[in-house]
A and B are shown apart, each in its own frame.
Chain A
Amino acid sequence: SGDSTSLNEAMAVLQHHDAVSGTSQQHVADDYARQLAAGWGPCEVLLSNALSRLSGSKEEFTFCRNLNISVCPLSQTAESFQVTIYNPLGRKVDWMVRLPVSQHVFLVKDPSGTVVPSDVVTMPSSDMQELLFSASVPALGFSIYSVTQVPGRSPQAHTSQPGSQKPS
């Protein structure tokens, strides 16, 4: 069973001005981070239970906390996976989803099973690829998109060209 108490308590502790403005000693700042991270775990269980109940399907949900540095073991290895996007705003939003993937071509379908446009972009100065597709998510709701590798086809991944050289 999930539990948000520890995250609530961590957030309560972090109302201290040291946490808000970074004026604590390093070991205290590290402990703030530890408390937050410890709170995330049980909250993710809570979210998974809620999503299972609301979506009607018991899934092994994965929370990729490092998407901002293009790390997500599931999307980088699985041949097919589901992407659930939850929108906390009180209005529908269109959101560009970016997920690190392996070097393949992918088929992305929206909740109605319709194929949506997607791209695989290679990150310059690295060989990482990112899958992009635009998701439409209802107000205070979620949408579930399915992603499937297209066997056999290698990506015409959009690599980058040099934009400018060092001025003479």
Chain B
Amino acid sequence: SRILTIQNEHLRARFDPDTGLLVELKNLDHDLLLPVRQAFYWYNASTGNNLSTQVSGAYIFRPNRQEPLLMNHWAQTRVVKTALVQEVHQNFSAWCSQVVRLYPGQRHLELEWTVGPIPVGDGWGKEVISRFDTALETKGLFFTDSNGREILERRRDYRPTWELNQTEPVAGNYYPVNSRIYITDGNMQLTVLTDRSQGGSSLKDGSIELMVHRRLLRDDGRGVGEALLEKGSGSWVRGRHLVLLDKASIAAVGHRLQSEKELLSPQVVLAPGGGSPYHRG
């Protein structure tokens, strides 16, 4: 069939045959089906506006409008299927690609994203996000971790300790994500594990976004004294998001164990072999 699918014993991921974008996840162990669209977007960094002269910079994330721009409506895809791995390679643009992977026995979908060098020839600073959109009714709530330990409940446009007058509808809802961010409707839970600290949020019900790379053109006036702008063509960054879909009641087992494996992942050391014995005799 034209439907692009990768699947192992526990998980099935489906991709739109025309656009090549991820459109559906199914947890085969618990028969949980969730339409989920994943794509890359970028916020146009603010250089100050009539509401505030505040610029987006190293200390301050401030997009110049609420809606990010879609990196591309479609991705050129290539599929690799072997006994040990199934992969969909997605090419969104010259500076954004991703490999979606499934290994046998794995209960999470691995999204290895590669972003950069971010072009700024158009005079716009860019703040790139990976966004997952679902129909989960999350009632304005989402959850982020604190240094991989405590999970904190976040509520859009709200602070538990003071009456918030939200002046930044995007940045004011971004929180630090050290290892995971998740949303749930009480039955299903969609969790995204990160391999490094990122900014993250859920700006609409059922949506999760994580910021993966930034390249800005102005200093934000908070003390650095220069823009977040690497020299030359700029750096490109590669990282991984691990996506888990589970029943809300048992999701913690999955993401806690996987997150430990991610944080303390095995180290590989090579050697030509045939070395001399270490101990005499």
Q: Are A124 and B278 in contact (CB under 8 A)?
A: no
Q: Are A82 and B89 in contact (CB under 8 A)?
A: no
Of the listed stretches B125-133, B153-161, B263-271, chain A binds: B263-271
Q: Which of B214-253 contact A (CB under 8 A)?
A: 222-226, 228-231, 238
Of the listed stretches A3-11, A34-42, A57-65, chain B binds: A57-65
Distance in angstroms between the alpha carbons of A17 and B250 in the assembled complex: 35
Number of interface residues of A (CB under 8 A): 68
Distance in angstroms between the alpha carbons of A80 and B271 in the assembled complex: 9
Q: Which of A18-51 contact B (CB under 8 A)?
A: 20, 22-26, 47-48, 51
Q: A119-B85, A125-B89 are in contact. Are A57 and B277 (CB under 8 A)?
A: yes
Q: Contact flags (1/0) for B70-93 with A, using CB distance below 8 Å? A: 000111111111111101110100
Cβ-based interface call for A150 (8 A):
no
CB distance from A122 to the nearest CB of B (A): 8
Interface size on B, as a range, is: 35 or more
Of the listed stretches B14-22, B33-41, B116-124, chain A binds: B14-22
Cβ-based interface call for A149 (8 A):
no
- Which B residues are in CB contact (< 8 Å) with A96? 84-85, 103
Cβ-based interface call for B261 (8 A):
yes
> A81's contact among B79, B105, B270, by CB below 8 Å, is which?
B270
CB distance from A123 to the nearest CB of B (A): 8
- Which B residues are in CB contact (< 8 Å) with A117? 83-84
Q: Contact flags (1/0) for A48-82 with B, using CB distance below 8 Å? A: 10011101111111111001110010110010111
Q: Are A121 and B272 in contact (CB under 8 A)?
A: no
Q: Which of A86-103 contact B (CB under 8 A)?
A: 86-89, 93-97, 99
Distance in angstroms between the alpha carbons of A89 and B104 in the assembled complex: 21
Q: Are A95 and B80 in contact (CB under 8 A)?
A: no
- Which B residues are in CB contact (< 8 Å) with A94? 105
- Which B residues are in CB contact (< 8 Å) with A158? 80-82
- Which B residues are in CB contact (< 8 Å) with A113? none
Q: Are A164 and B226 in contact (CB under 8 A)?
A: no
Q: Contact flags (1/0) for A139-168 with B, using CB distance below 8 Å? A: 000000010000000000011111111110
Cβ-based interface call for A14 (8 A):
no
- Which A residues are in CB contact (< 8 Å) with B197? 20
- Which A residues are in CB contact (< 8 Å) with B224? 23-25
Cβ-based interface call for B95 (8 A):
no
Distance in angstroms between the alpha carbons of A68 and B237 in the assembled complex: 10
- Which A residues are in CB contact (< 8 Å) with B81? 158
Q: Are A88 and B266 in contact (CB under 8 A)?
A: yes
Q: Are A97 and B271 in contact (CB under 8 A)?
A: no
> B269's contact among A47, A53, A134, by CB below 8 Å, is which?
A47
> B79's contact among A58, A60, A160, A165, by CB below 8 Å, is which?
A160
- Which B residues are in CB contact (< 8 Å) with A99? 268, 270
Show 15 A/B contacts (Cβ-Cβ < 8 Å), sorted by A: A60-B272, A67-B268, A81-B270, A83-B270, A97-B268, A124-B80, A125-B78, A133-B84, A134-B103, A158-B81, A163-B77, A163-B79, A164-B75, A165-B76, A166-B76
Binding site for B on A (CB under 8 A): 20, 22-26, 47-48, 51-53, 55-64, 67-69, 72, 74-75, 78, 80-89, 93-97, 99, 117-119, 121-125, 132-135, 137, 146, 158-167
Closest 10 CB pairs of A and B: A163-B77, A59-B271, A160-B78, A124-B78, A59-B275, A164-B20, A82-B273, A119-B82, A167-B18, A57-B275
